[in-house]
Amino acid sequence: MFKAVLLSFNIITITKVTTIIFILLSLSIVTVTMISSNGIGYESLFIVFAQMEKDKDTNQKMLNTQSVNNTSSTFSAIGTISSLVITVPKHEFNITNAFKVIVTGDWILNVHNGTVTNFETNFLASPMDGSIGHIHQITNFSANKDDVGIIIQPMPMLDNNSNSLSINGTADIKINGITIWKDADLSITISKGSTITIDPNDKDTGNHFGNQQVYGIVNRLIVM
């Protein structure tokens, strides 16, 4: 009687184990079949994952304004303008009472094979006293003939010249869409891939910017 019960128990145990193995094999076959039916094999999956990691690395390089190239003459940069223009009186200057204008907006720079193909800015000048502001546009930038072969140099962060450049040229400066100063001298400086300085010539712009520069941030530097 005891032997019969033990034999019955062993048969039930073996049956359960066999059933579990069969279910696991079935699930594996179904999973492989689903992947194959979607046109994605194991090799393809590894390729997809590798591409995802590659894209992630590329995006990280773009955000950190780094590149594997030593130098590049084709690149793009975009960013925001965030600056403060202060009217400086000749006597008894007081920063608290000085007339201040907040300058905010966007800019873009495209360079192809060492030549500036586009530089534009669009920013709002808002007086801090609440009076009505106005919009500036800088368009039709043309680099000087001496500024040829413009390159960006992604170097180690210890190099003070990494991701830096300086360009001189002329541009049209508009107020509220109307060209006020045509072919005004203008300087553009990007420092370490982090900040940008836009310097309109004071004489060419009728001292409109108070002999001061407009400052901004480099949000992204894309090296081709």
Model pLDDT, residue 111 = 95
Whether the pLDDT of residue 153 is over 50: the answer is yes
- Sorted by where each begins, the domain ranges of the chain are 2-63, 75-223
For the segment 16-67, what is each residue's pLDDT rounded down to a tens digit? Answer: 545 555 454 444 443 333 334 444 333 333 333 334 344 434 333 333 334 3
Sign of torsion over alpha carbons 214, 168, 76, 73: negative
pTM exceeds cut of 0.75: no
AA identity, residue 143: A
Q: Which whole number is the average pLDDT over 182-197?
A: 95
- Which SS3 state, helix, strand or coil, does residue 138 take? strand
Compare 224 and 200 and report the one with higher pLDDT. 200
Write the CB contacts of 19 (distance below 8 Å, at least 6 apart in sequence): none
Query: What's the CA gap between 116 and 150, in Å, rounded?
Result: 8
Tokens of 21: 């193995």
